[in-house]
Amino acid sequence: MSSAPRVRIAPSPTGYFHVGTGRTALFNWLFARQQGGSFILRIEDTDTARNRDEHIDGILRALEWLGLDWDEGPYYQSQRSHLYSSAIDLLIESGAVYACDCPPEEIQRRAKERGGPPGYDGFCRDRGLEPSSGRMLRFRVPAGESGFTDLVRGEVPKNNKDLEDFGVRKSNGDPLFILANVVDDADMSITHVIRGEDHVSNTHKYLLLWDALGYGEWPEFAHLPLLYNDQRKKLSKRRDKVAVEDYRDEGYLPEAMVNYLALLGWSPGAEREIVTREEMISGFRLSDVKSAGAIFDERKLQSVNSEYLRALPTDELVERAQAWLLGRWAPIAGLVQERARTLGEIYTLTDFLYRPDPVIDDAEWDKAVAKTPAFEALLSGVLTRFEQVEWDAESIQQAVVDAGRDAGVEQVGKAQAPVRLAVTGRPVGPPLWQSLEVLGRDRTAARIRAGLSRLHPGS
RNA sequence: GGCCCCAUCGUCUAGUGGCCUAGGACACCACCCUCUCAAGGUGGAGGCACGGGUUCGAAUCCCGUUGGGGCUGCCA
């Protein structure tokens, strides 16, 4: 194939955008960009019962968020039914398909009776039923072999006897996925079909149809290994967090998500983990894609995301976090930046600035503060000093150090602990002195007073 | 059940017959740094599923076993 490659991503409107679809889209996009080809978006909405406009909108926004721009489309299969109809007419004419009126229960019953494998048994093959409405259409699978060569996995053999007569049109007249898929790939001159491994067995049927329709030279195929959960099962909506929009909403950066997704099944080479888009485009090879599946590990995603977060100019970070929280935390943004793994986590680290009062866990308080008698004197010493010192990080630090010394708590690390818990409600967080400076003298003092009375509920 | 695919540390991977007493990253452990937590630094534990071949030589090639996965819809 000497002309510019044409590839496509063909999601169906299921209500969310699966990370696996995102990975497939990315690999298609990388291939197209590197080869100077076209990346085409086609919505596979032949199942009219499931279609919803907002689902389609979700697909477009997810693709945009990931930065995977398409060159053509979106095309909608629901608007191309005339193409499928004429293809079906052709198949009827040539006798490549036949009508079938077996109810699904009947097919199942016969399979059970037969004791053999489940699936259709060709019952209507030679009944000569008219292809009238109310009857589905099945492809008459010929004897022979339907093997093909896959760009990532090599030869994929198949004996046609292991293929049942699959449906190409529903009894309500709608085309089935496999038919629409083939017709559109031919019509759109798709040169490389890059999709998930769960489609390999569809490919044999695809090719049979392709030939029956006289489309000529086959496209190339590349089947990508699947993404699994930690149980090594295909990532599924039911058990797993699979929606790209969920990761977006938690504050993962699209560039980090793309980087992580690229690492699943492909590698930029030894000792590299963080890769720019340009490097991905220039280094990507379909032949380098692994054929074994990969587990989607959110901890690694977090780590990649942290790297991208820390690499951001701090003012840009503040800007991009606007959707999660207001900019009140900006003065300590640089300190928060290296501690947050997602934009959403920034709030956890800075919520003491946003809440009217800290939420203090009783058990935590008892363990970290109440058990140490000296901390009472420490806190009141801190309070006294806080009311007098200049309100800047350095003075705040000095006040805590001095109060600690007077209370017999020499180590600063120890002395800051009760102050931190009383004021922020958490045992850990960004550096305390700067945090208190931003919080302000009055709110800080009030919280320490509250801590003191927590020590002595009566007084 | 049938058909097909896959197999390097817990996870993602490098490795395409000698450079491998198998390298990196995440996660984990220890230490250093340090106002906590991170970040950073140093060190550590941890893997070629198993069994046969082929070869002077196998993580790399072949066969088998085991394990895992996918498909098997009038969903896509």
In sequence order, the 6+-apart residues with CB closer than 8 A to the CB of A388 are none
How does pLDDT run across A384-413, given as a tens digit for each residue? 999 999 999 999 999 999 999 999 999 999
pTM to 2 decimal places: 0.94
* Beta-strand pair A167-169/A227-228: unpaired
β-strand partners of A220: A192
Given a cut of 80, whether residue A218 has pLDDT beyond it is yes
Check residue A458 and give its pLDDT.
Answer: 57
Q: Provide the CA A153 to C1' B61 distance, Å, integer.
A: 17
Distance CA(A101)–CA(A108), nearest Å, equals 14
Q: Nearest residue to nucleotide B68 when comparing alpha carbons to its C1'?
A: A232
On the question of pLDDT at A2 being above 70, the answer is no
**pLDDT greater than 80 at residue A86:** yes
pLDDT at A459: 52
The average pLDDT across A242-262 equals 97
Distance CA A166, CA A169 (A): 9
A255-279 residues labelled b (16+ CB within 10 A) or e (exposed): bbbbbbbbbbbbebeeeeeebeeee
Nucleotides of B under 7 A from a protein CB: 1-8, 10-16, 23-27, 35-39, 68-76
Catalytic annotation, residues of A: 237
In angstroms, the CA of A421 and the C1' of B36 are apart by 10
Are A322 and A329 contacting, i.e. CB atoms less than 8 angstroms apart?
no
- Residue-wise pLDDT tens digits, A237-246: 888 999 999 9
Q: Tokens 């019953």 correspond to what residue?
A: A109
List the A160 CA – B2 C1' distance (angstroms): 13
Which pLDDT tens digit goes with each residue over A300-346? 999 999 999 999 999 999 999 999 999 999 999 999 999 999 999 99
Quote the pLDDT of residue A1: 46
Average pLDDT of the residues of chain A = 94
CB A226 within 8 A of CB A20: yes
What radius of gyration do chain A's Cα atoms show?
A: 31
* A50 pLDDT above the threshold of 80: no
